[in-house]
Structure 1
Amino acid sequence: MWVDSHCHLDFPELAADRDGLIGRAVAAGLRSMVTISTRVRRFDGIRAIAEAHDGIWCSVGTHPHNAHEELDVTAEELVALAEHPRVIAIGEAGLDFFYDKSPREAQEQGFRTHIAAARASGLPLVIHAREADATVTAILTEEMGKGAFKAVLHCFTGSRELAMAGVALGLYVSFSGIATYKSAANLRELAAELPADRILVETDAPYLAPGKFRGKTNEPSYVVETGRVIAEARGVAPEEMARQTTENFYRLFAKADPGRQLSA
């Protein structure tokens, strides 16, 4: 069975047919999914989705695009919200120097706040990193020196150097539908090289549908296609990739109860 480790079920593109996409996910063999927070001030909606469905978990945090809007959110507030039984992660937070929708100083402040919350709560941090490899590596290295924390580099599109630095620090690397694109041979090569016990798969739905579904609204069931392509790159059967990435998921997101599985 598969797990979609990162999607956005509260986004309008998915909200209108949430029951339908859950049914399709179950039919495709998904065991669980995580709906990811992008704004702490909208956390109530994320939490309600997770509360309503077995097998759906959530995170709490502020996306770097919105960092400047929520600089008043403290690590202590994140930790308190993360005590809810359906919250299994902090984030997503990090740095996005491609769009630069939030000032870089605000993004870095928010990133460090979320790292502190991950360290204090023991929950993994979901890291967004785009066109900021060197700065992300420097911050992770510095912050890890202050005290260990768990994390995943989500929707990975960065350099081999960032991925290997992350693995050396104990992080996981998650691949989205981007890794299936013809232009992404470098990501497939990286996926083939990484340790088997550090790989996750995700959709980042409603965005980034894998190549087979490109042009459609992405949804959690499509994670199976990404997993199939990563399995091919690694020279293993899709069933083995499903087993390995699901095992990795429950090791990293240890608060998630494997007994709570999706049902249509």
Structure 2
Amino acid sequence: MTQSVITDSHCHLDFPDFDSERPEVIARAVAAGVHRMVTICTRLRLEPQVRAIAEAHDPVFYAAGTHPMSAADEPMATVDELVALAEHPKFVGIGESGLDYHYTADSAEVQQRSLRVHIEAAQATGLPLIIHARAADTDMARILTEGYRAQPYACVMHCFSSGAELARAALDLGFYLSMSGIAAFPKSQELRDIFAAAPLDRVLVETDSPYLAPPPYRGKRNEPGYSVHTAAVGAEVFGIDYADFAAATERNFERLFAKAAAHKAAA
């Protein structure tokens, strides 16, 4: 029987947590059934290192942007800069960008300006916007909606752990919700309920590794291969077999990250 495969739609393979065994981590993911992963650059000055990882490993694609928690410390990204990066064949998304008022509410204004730049780059390239949202649901829904009304674009709410209202706002725009290890934590029933109410054709899976390892690895360094444990919980949430959930999230990923799907087809 052919193994069901999934994609880790969001990880951080450039982080120093993986420096001692990056090839082994990628190989373990593939062996576990995670045949593809998107590694995310969170500071544009580090893009060359992240790009090099994608170039060195067939299963790895990448995206780049300025993380909202770094927006006040990094040069403001430009649309032209992001559009130029998007010319690389393995560059498949814009971000992660977004808003984080949990630790960095003092930089809310610069975060919002940065987010609007990233929205414009997603509109210009046709690549999906990758959104980080924490403790900023009202502003997040407003800015995403304003941008979409000006010019439609594709988007995923990465590591979704916000409230039901932001989930509905995102889904109403045709956006996707990505399920991380948080959804597998025992105390996350409210979050699982939000996913259960979402259309199955709008759900992705991810690790956000090296963070947020799902059970049975909670508290340890996360890695892309562990996304199979989150996917198993996703299958339970939707009341379907793992193989069916895996197939659905693969279709969803390839619809949203069409450039990655096309690259695979051309390989």
Q: Counterpart amino acid of 2:69?
A: H
**2:39 paired with 1:67:** no
Q: 1:31 aligns with which of 32, 35, 40?
A: 35
Contact 1:174/1:201, CA 8 A, preserved across alignment: yes
Q: Does 1:195 align with 2:181?
A: no
| Corresponding residue for residue 54 of structure 2 | 50
Match of 2:118 among 89, 95, 114: 114
Alignment correspondent of 2:257 = 253
Q: CA deviation at 1:13?
A: 0.6
**1:107 alignment partner, SS class:** helix
Give the aligned partner of residue 176 of structure 1: 180
Structure with larger RCO (C-alpha < 8 A, sep 6+): 1
Listed as ranges, the matches of 1:70-85 within 5 Å are 70-85=74-89
After superposition, the C-alpha distances for 1:100-137 in whole angstroms (9 at most, x for unaligned) are: 17611110010000000000010000000001001000
The answer to whether the Cα contact below 8 Å between 1:124 and 1:151 also exists between their aligned partners in 2 is yes
Instruction: Provide the secondary structure at the position in 2 that maps to 1:99.
Output: helix
- 8 Å contact from structure 1 (residues 66, 102) kept in 2: no
Which of 215, 219, 223 matches 2:223? 219
- State which of 141, 158, 169 in structure 2 corresponds to 1:154: 158
The CA distance in 2 between the partners of 1:15 and 1:54, in whole Å, is 18
SS at match of 1:103: helix
In 1, distance between residues paired with 2:30 and 2:106? 37
Change (3 A) 1:40 1:101: farther
CA distance in 2, matches of 1:86, 1:20: 21
CA distance in 2, matches of 1:72, 1:245: 33
Contact 1:176 1:202 in 2 (8 A): yes
Q: Does 1:232 align with 2:236?
A: yes
Shift of 1:170: 1.1
Which residue is 2:45 aligned to? Answer: 41
Provide the C-alpha distance between the structure 1 equivalents of 2:172 and 2:75, rounded to a whole number of angstroms: 30
Q: CA deviation at 1:71?
A: 4.0
2:35 maps to amino acid = R
**Aligned equivalents of 1:257 and 1:159: distance in 2?**
31
**TM-fit CA distance, 1:2:** 0.7
Asked if the contact 2:90/2:263 (under 8 Å) is kept, the reply is no
TM-score when scaled to structure 1? 0.96
For the 8 Å contact 2:92–2:257, the answer to whether it is kept is yes
Does residue 3 of structure 1 match 2:7?
Answer: yes
The reply to whether residue 143 of structure 1 matches residue 110 of structure 2 is: no
Give the whole-Å Cα distance in 1 for the aligned partners of 2:75 and 2:11. Answer: 24
Query: Matches of 1:238 and 1:14 in 2, distance apart?
Result: 28
Read off the aligned partner of 1:100 and give its amino acid letter: T
Q: Which runs of 5+ in 1 are unaligned?
A: none
RMSD: 1.3
Kindly provide the amino acid, as one letter, of the partner of residue 168 in structure 2: M
What TM-score comes out, normalization by structure 2 length?
A: 0.95
